């Protein structure tokens, strides 16, 4: 097993390999490529129709942001310099999104949040046996399609309760230290393993697929993770 993967696998006691396909999605809620990747992952899983489980591995694109986030336009200016620079990128993402059933509405976004609270909410979902990917998709849709502020606890309560979580538990979790420590430790583990970008999909704890790859590539990766021979691989940016 490659050193890149082994650091995660050795210390991750959440998953026991089985005959089913298990996917650990390493992603951030405010990453548009992660949203694309999750939608393509979902299509790939539907195509293979076998037993599968997907769990969440936290990653923050902007861990240095203040708790209340920053103005979206200020953020774009600091990262890309001008609307002229970022405009074509957003237009391209919008076109890609339509093909995957995503309605990217960057015009509705007013703030870029620090996503620690959202990751803490996803950790709560794990502890309550709530489907993390359904919640993650709902959070991403709230941000990218409706412009909701995912740093706002009231927004997280509204979304989390739709998935069967108790409001009091959500508030205690996103304001508490325990979930924050777990999220911080898991993200540090991924970064120390050599991963430097998202999305990443760790398949059956053997093979790491990097990037928002096309559905056919993901299906091919499933086959290699389940039945392939040879050493474990780090695949980036596309299967070869």
Tell whether 90 is covered by a domain.
no
Residues with Cβ within 8 Å of 110's Cβ and at least 6 positions away in sequence, in order, are 71, 72, 147, 149
Share of the chain above pLDDT 70, in %: 87
**pLDDT bucket at 81, cuts 50 / 70 / 90:** confident
222 by Cβ neighbours in 10 Å (0-12 / 13-18 / 19+) ranks as buried
Q: How many CA atoms lie less than 13 Å away from 111 in the CB half-sphere?
A: 14
Tell whether 170 is covered by a domain.
yes
More confident: 34 or 4: 34
**pLDDT bucket at 10, cuts 50 / 70 / 90:** very low
Tell whether 45 is covered by a domain.
yes
Q: Which residue bears the tokens 């959500």?
A: 170
Tell whether 46 is covered by a domain.
yes
Tell whether 67 is covered by a domain.
no
> Which range, of 19-28, 103-112, 143-152, averages the lowest pLDDT?
19-28
pTM for the structure as a whole: 0.87
Which neighbouring-strand residues pair with 112?
Answer: 70
Identify the CATH number of the domain in which residue 186 sits.
Answer: 3.40.30.10
Q: Which residue bears the tokens 């056919």?
A: 216
| SS3 state at 109 | coil
Q: Which domain holds residue 157?
A: 3-61+115-235
What's the domain count of the chain?
1
Q: What is the DSSP letter of 29?
A: T
Tell whether 190 is covered by a domain.
yes
Query: Is 50 exceeded by the pLDDT of residue 239?
Result: no
Note the pLDDT tens digit of each residue in 126-175.
Answer: 999 999 999 999 999 999 999 999 999 999 999 999 999 999 999 999 99
Tell whether 95 is covered by a domain.
no
Tell whether 96 is covered by a domain.
no
């Amino acid at each position: 097993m490659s050193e890149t993967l082994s650091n995660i696998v050795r210390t991750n006691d959440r998953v026991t390999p089985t005959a089913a396909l298990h996917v650990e999605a390493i992603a951030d809620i405010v990453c548009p490529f992660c949203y694309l990747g999750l939608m393509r992952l979902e299509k790939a899983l539907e195509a293979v129709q076998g037993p599968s489980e997907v769990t969440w591995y936290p990653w923050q694109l902007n861990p240095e942001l203040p708790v209340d986030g920053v103005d979206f336009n200020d953020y774009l200016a600091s990262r890309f310099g001008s609307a002229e620079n970022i405009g074509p990128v957003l237009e391209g993402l919008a076109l890609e999104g339509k093909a995957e059933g995503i309605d990217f509405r960057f015009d509705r976004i007013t703030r870029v949040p620090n996503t620690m609270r959202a990751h803490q909410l996803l950790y709560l979902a794990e502890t309550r046996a709530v489907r993390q990917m359904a919640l993650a998709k709902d959070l991403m849709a709230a941000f990218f399609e409706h412009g909701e502020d995912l740093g706002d606890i009231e927004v997280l309560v509204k979304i989390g309760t739709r998935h069967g979580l108790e409001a009091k538990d959500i508030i205690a979790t996103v304001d508490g230290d325990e979930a924050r420590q777990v999220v911080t430790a898991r993200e540090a583990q991924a970064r120390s393993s050599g991963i430097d970008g998202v999305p990443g999909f760790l398949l059956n704890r053997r093979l790491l697929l990097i990037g928002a790859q096309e559905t056919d590539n993901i299906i091919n990766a499933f086959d290699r993770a389940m039945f392939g021979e040879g050493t474990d691989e780090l695949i980036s940016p596309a299967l070869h």
